[in-house]
Structure 1
Amino acid sequence: MTMENTQASSLAPAGQAGLQGLRGRLSFIDLMQSVGLLGVILLGGAVMSVLSPVFATTRNIENVLQSATIIAVVAIGQTFVILVAGIDLSVASVLVLSSVLSVGLVQFQGLSPEIGVVVALAAGVGIGLINGLAVTKLRIPALIATLATMTIARGLAYIYSGGTNIAPVPRFFVDFQAARILGIPAVIVLTLVLAVIAQIVLSRTSFGRSIYATGGNPLAARLAGIKTERVIVLAFMISGLMSAIAGLLITARFEAGAATAAQGLELAVIAAVVIGGVSLFGGEGNIGSMLLGVVLLGLVQNAVNLLNVPPNWDSVVSGLVIAAAASLDVYRRNYLEAGMRRKVIATKSARTPKT
């Protein structure tokens, strides 16, 4: 056993109780943030119901939720990356590349639709692997590494498709888009299933605990025996997979390999994740709150459309919401959580017998 591991092992029991108390307090903050987001959504929905009679209709609400599914699926993967204190700007480009491959391999190469789907998903995982290795092995900042793959993947999608959407799509895309499960659109059900799986992974598995530990304190995670580089690579691969799945969903929605879609989607995804309380500093957040962030962002965009606000104001309003969420994140980390840590340390010191 190395000296570092010996030191980490000796310090672990001493801080166990304090850390558990701190986690409990931070979980309470997360709960309050989720409740606050839900309150804002309900209040905004009530206001919009008064301002626009169309808002509360079943059709409009269903459209809002279906539109939000694409962002939600990509945001699930982005959450894993941000939890390890990274960022993935390539998500929209991976989505587009997956979309054109899933249709183009059938139309141009004559492959079966099943192989097209598998290759599309594999492309997303592969780009995620490249991103993860670039960050961990080459030590390239995630912002730069994923900016490069964003440009490359989008370029490959344009080259392969000739810069146009590819149609028609295999029949199962059309059938899936029209399908309902217990009266709920299948795309919404799939999104919820993916979200539940992601939350179980993060909250109930050793890999999930490693994700939080790596993002919260990489050095302590390494001293505890966590292979942080492997965790980071897997987080980027999950992000690539989720982006590829979203590419299949957008293919079903548009009934075409969407070569020109998802412009600026990466910013909307990051906004939704941040609004949902996932800390940009890593190590904090959960899928449930993130989904509320997606819904709130969708509500804002829907309100702008229903109220006939000029299109450019959509970006202004979304930007203000992002700025407010980021400011809240900084305030929570720099003041609330720092204060709680000091309180835990002070309480522990007071209970320690003096010699």
Structure 2
Amino acid sequence: MADRVPQSSGLSALRGRISFIDLMQSLGLMVIILLGSLIMTAMSPVFATVRNIENVLQSATIIAVVAIGQTFVILVAGIDLSVASVLVLSSVLAVGLVQFQGLSPEIAIILALCAGLGIGLVNGLAVTKLRIPPLIATLATMTIGRGMAYIYSGGTNIAPVPRIFIDLQASRFLGVPGVIVLTLVLAALAQIVLSRTQFGRSVYATGGNPLAARLAGIKTERVVIAAFMISGLMSAIAGLLITARFEAGAATAAQGLELAVIAAVVIGGVSLFGGEGNIGSMLLGVLLLGLVQNAVNLLNVPPNWDSVVSGLVIAAAAALDVYRRSYLEAGMRKKVIAKAAKSTPKTS
């Protein structure tokens, strides 16, 4: 009788090859970013300056932080359109509670973050308990949240901001702006949660196959609620960052941010169908989108065309995700499975 080869060896080969596919996708984004940067350097002498690069990265931090939370929601096969509304509500509360109610900046910031968590909880409960589709549930909270921010602020930005926000924007760590360092820390923590914890594995399982996840004992509703709460919290943190950047409670900011965030997440390889993607590749998607927006500004593209370009990028990202999932990854995974099967000797 031939020696029996453990079945796990074939599965290990399969996982390794699929990880290789994900790696190649990230490398592809890096190549696109590099080529785009070289082209822009040739077209605009301003592009490669330290000041412009730092400006691109700082602007990208807002989208990146929101995108971290959106990644969790999309991984469980959801969508969160309320992120921009949570951002502005958090921003006006963080300043307004100090200006109007006389609270300390620290308490105001905590309450602003709690507002984000609360809206995330409402979204999660609406999706899991009321069975409202995520698109509709978060569209409702998007409208309500923006309306609450306008009512509270009177429809205008609130200034001046507490000193803590000015210090945050001016802070540096080893020469790197503090907001960029904070964004990278949040991204690293999110990646650790997704790749190294039971909750992270539950997120992927819930988005990939919710029925199988439930049969495996995963509390999928709790996972979905937690994903929406993480999205709300990250959006609230982004609201604090935009407050520091604009030095005002930004009631009128972040128009259309939710679409830019979704585009960045999908460009970064997080599947709209759920269960696939990681934070590292998502950050590359954010960076690529930031470079596109920066190129539009440097090349003096008319403002109306800016929206057209952003829309085309979003459409291309969605089409790429469908193509990648339906054709490329399906074909590559079939080849991987076939090779893994051949590498496993038959038992006699």
Q: Same fold (TM over 0.5)?
A: yes
Q: Does 2:265 correspond to 1:273? A: yes
What TM-score do you get using the length of structure 1 for normalisation?
Answer: 0.92
AA of the residue aligned to 1:78: Q
Could you tell me how far apart the structure 1 residues matched to 2:268 and 2:340 are? 32
* Equivalent in the alignment of 1:288: 280
Instruction: Give the CA deviation at 1:258.
Output: 0.6
> Percent of pairs identical after alignment?
84
Q: Which runs of 5+ in 2 are unaligned?
A: 1-5
The alpha-carbon deviation at position 324 of structure 1 amounts to: 2.5
Contact 1:277 1:325 in 2 (8 A): no
Is residue 25 from structure 1 mapped to residue 17 from structure 2 by the alignment? yes
1:114 aligns with 2:106: yes
Q: Secondary structure at the match of 1:139?
A: coil
Question: What is the correspondence of 1:1-355 to structure 2 with a 5 Å cutoff?
Answer: 19-343=11-335, 346=338
Deviation at 1:223, TM superposition (A): 1.2
Q: Deviations over 1:291-317 (max 9, x none)?
A: 111111110111111111112222222
Q: Distance in 2 between matches of 1:24 and 1:213?
A: 18
Task: Give the letter for the 2:244 counterpart.
Answer: A
Name the CA distance, whole Å, in 2 between partners of 1:18 and 1:87. 35
Q: Does the 8 Å contact 1:94/1:244 carry over to 2?
A: yes
Normalized against structure 2, the TM-score is what? 0.94
SS of equivalent residue, structure 1 residue 289 = helix
Q: CA deviation at 1:24?
A: 2.5
CA deviations on 1:238-280 (whole Å, 9 max, x unpaired) are 0000000000001111111111111110001001101111100
Q: Which amino acid in 1 is paired with 2:15?
A: R
Distance 1:312 1:18 in 2: 53
In structure 1, how many angstroms separate the alpha carbons of the residues matched to 2:23 and 2:191? 15
Q: Deviations over 1:134-166 (max 9, x none)?
A: 111111000000000001111111111111111
Are the equivalent residues in 2 in contact too, given 1:22–1:340 (CA < 8 A)? no
Q: Which amino acid aligns with 1:156?
A: M
Counterpart of 2:72 in 1: which secondary structure?
A: helix
Distance 1:260 1:132 in 2: 26
Q: Which deviates further from its counterpart, 23-32 or 217-226?
A: 23-32
Conserved? CA contact 2:68–2:190, under 8 Å: yes
Report the CA distance between 1:347 and its aligned residue: 5.5
Query: Distance in 1 between the 2:216 and 2:345 partners?
Result: 25
* Separation in 2, partners of 1:334, 1:348: 21
Cα contact 1:25–1:340 (8 A) shared by 2: no
Shift of 1:321: 2.5
Q: What letter corresponds to residue 144 of structure 1 in structure 2? A: I
Worse overlay, 330-339 or 165-174: 330-339
**What SS does the aligned partner of 1:240 have?**
helix
Is the contact made by 2:194 and 2:201 (CA closer than 8 Å) also made in structure 1? yes
Indicate if the aligned counterparts of 1:120 and 1:244 stay in contact, CA closer than 8 A.
yes
Deviation at 1:325, TM superposition (A): 2.4
Task: Pick closer, same or farther for the CA change 1:17–1:48 going to 2, 3 Å.
Answer: same
Q: 1:87 to 1:16 in 2, by over 3 A?
A: farther
Count residues with an aligned counterpart.
Answer: 342
Does the CA-based 8 Å contact 1:101-1:120 persist in structure 2?
Answer: yes
For the 8 Å contact 1:85–1:283, the answer to whether it is kept is yes
Query: 1:25: Cα distance to partner?
Result: 2.6
- In terms of mean alpha carbon deviation, does 168-177 or 22-31 score higher? 22-31
Give the superposed CA RMSD: 1.8
Distance in structure 2 (CA, Å) of the matches to 1:41 and 1:342: 30
Mark the CA change 1:218 to 1:113 in structure 2 (over 3 Å): closer, same or farther. Answer: same
- Indicate conservation of the 8 Å contact 1:103/1:257, yes or no: yes
Q: Tell me if the contact between 1:275 and 1:290 (Cα under 8 Å) persists in the aligned partners.
A: yes
Question: Take 1:217 and 1:42, find their aligned partners in 2: how far apart are those partners?
Answer: 36
Q: What whole-Å deviation, never above 9, does each CA across 1:97-136 have from its counterpart, x for those lacking one?
A: 0000001111111111111000000000010011001111
